[in-house]
Amino acid sequence: MAGLAVAFLLLALIVQVVGAARPGADAAAEEARLAADLAAALPGARALEVEVGLQGEEAVAAARFRWLPPGPDWVPITIAVQAAFPRVVPP
């Protein structure tokens, strides 16, 4: 189950970081959108920390949270992932 959460999280990060890599993108807006998407999609997520930033020629997105999956009595899991994508430069 944790593997599925990580796979979904990576997909969400890739989508957000690609959005942040386009010209004129607002990293703060992409960060807020990522936090809202993850909060809605990951029941049991606590202490959600997200960051979307532009670092040199890359856009970087990162997320970290404690997750207590729904269902049987699971132990909380700390999940942290990061994705980067080259910034898009207009011709």
What is the domain extent for residue 33?
Answer: 2-86
Report the interhelical angle of 2-21 vs 27-41 (nearest 10°): 160
Farthest CA pair distance, the chain: 54
Contact 31, 50 (CB under 8 A): yes
Instruction: Classify residue 62: in a domain, yes or no.
Output: yes
What amino acid occupies position 39? A
Tell me: pLDDT of 52 over 70.
yes
pTM over 0.85: no
| Beta strands 58-67 and 77-86, pairing class | antiparallel
- Residue 91 in any domain: the answer is no
Give pLDDT tens digits for 4-16: 767 777 787 777 7
Count structural domains, the chain: 1
- What SS3 class is residue 90? coil
Residue 32 lies in a domain: yes
User: Where do the DSSP E strands lie in the chain?
Assistant: 45-55, 58-67, 77-86
